[in-house]
Amino acid sequence: MTERLYYDASYMTDFSAYVTAVKEDQGGTWVTLDRSAFYPTSGGQPFDTGILKNVDTGEELPVTDVEVADGDVWHRVEGALQTGDEVLGRIDWPRRFDHMQQHGGEHMIAGSIWKLLHGTTIGLHLGKDQSTIDVTMPDGRTRFTEEETAAVEQYVNGHIQRNEPVRCWFPDEAELASLPLRKPPTVTEHIRIVDIGGWEMVACGGTHPASTGEIGLVKILSVTPARGKARVSFVCGERALRYFDLCQKSAEKAGQLLSATPERLADAVAEMKEKCARLESELKAFRTQDILRQLEKNSGVLYLENGDDRALQEAVSAYIQRPGRIVFAGAGGRLIFARSADRNEDMAALIRSVARGGGKPDMASGAGGRDAVLAAARSAGLL
């Protein structure tokens, strides 16, 4: 069984150990050690990466995955080691500390959701960009109000600013029974407890910062329904700073384009959308009038290579309001053949005689080009 050095020393980056077994698995070489500071994927926290250095040869082998099996921590290495080899391990600290910040923040969010909203958190997923927890609310709802989300954020960040201590230990049975845990442990042996500032206490085998201040900042990004639960997405620590940086730069760029401050950005976008919709409708009306003029000029025979078929449709509808008219028209590969109500040609049959399509006797549509329009107009004696 591997001694887990991170249980008592979550800041340990360098350690020495002996290889106790080697195996080939999942297309790679895995070694287990008598002791390790590498965290294996568990409880939603991803594994550590780093190196194992062979003390005899000086060779440094990258560690690319870490898993736990039957109490042993297995390290996937790029290279060869043998049982009995002495190694110096070094974990990738920025990666681990990021995980500690997200994991510590997760405890605080779950603890405050329990305290303020009586919601039960059931799972942590620590993602590459953001992390999520799923919350079961007492009344079964899958969303928080804006005020609830803000209250959770304020509660958590308030405790971060007070820089409260975070303590991890293995209590004996009697002490364990007396502890006010947020939820019952999922394991029955070697139960490790994490206590954050005396208000969030739960069983956990993960790595945590020594005090809440090191988490820096917690920001909830969204609360969305997911399989009957409320899924809370969040970022903590350095990630929260990077996220703020991204949002701020993007708001600044958009603000420059719209000549608006970031605070006025949403209003400026709404105004722009309204203006675009007005211009689009004016443009459509203008195009329709233009096509109608061309239909009049060409006695209803018209094909527009790059035309807008919606504008054509409206122009055709307007054109056949007058009695005695017939239209063979098309735009951008779409055909519209139509006639006034007082005529009796079957436009659907006419369109099928020159292209693929169909419709009603007085108005039919299909797919085709200029040749189809000209052929139909010729057969009807218009050309």
Residue ranges in contact with Zn ion by CB under 5 A:
194, 204, 206
Nearest to 148 by CA among 109, 121, 117, 120: 117
Residue 6 or 74 with smaller CB distance to Zn ion: 6
In the complex, minimum distance from the CB of residue 226 to Zn ion, in angstroms, rounded to a whole number: 22
Written as one letter, the residue type at 269 is V
Q: Which residue has the tokens 């969030």?
A: 200
**Distance, CA of 22 to CA of 83 (rounded, Å):** 6
Written as one letter, the residue type at 137 is M
Residue of minimal CB distance from Zn ion? 204
In the complex, minimum distance from the CB of residue 194 to Zn ion, in angstroms, rounded to a whole number: 5
Render 325-380 in DSSP notation, one character per residue: -EEEEEETTEEEEEE-TT----HHHHHHHHSEEEE-SSEEEEE--HHHHHHHHHHT
In the complex, minimum distance from the CB of residue 245 to Zn ion, in angstroms, rounded to a whole number: 27
Residue 204 or 236 with smaller CB distance to Zn ion: 204
Nearest to 159 by CA among 93, 224, 236: 236
- CB atoms closer than 10 angstroms to residue 185: 15
In the complex, minimum distance from the CB of residue 43 to Zn ion, in angstroms, rounded to a whole number: 7
For Cα atoms 144, 147, 148, give the angle at the middle one, nearest 5 degrees.
Answer: 45
Residue 167 or 284 with smaller CB distance to Zn ion: 167
In the complex, minimum distance from the CB of residue 79 to Zn ion, in angstroms, rounded to a whole number: 32
Residue 5 or 338 with smaller CB distance to Zn ion: 5
Given a contact cutoff of 8 angstroms between Cβ atoms, the answer to whether 171 and 192 are in contact is no
Residue 124 or 329 with smaller CB distance to Zn ion: 124
DSSP assignment letter at 165: B
Residue 87 or 194 with smaller CB distance to Zn ion: 194
In the complex, minimum distance from the CB of residue 207 to Zn ion, in angstroms, rounded to a whole number: 8
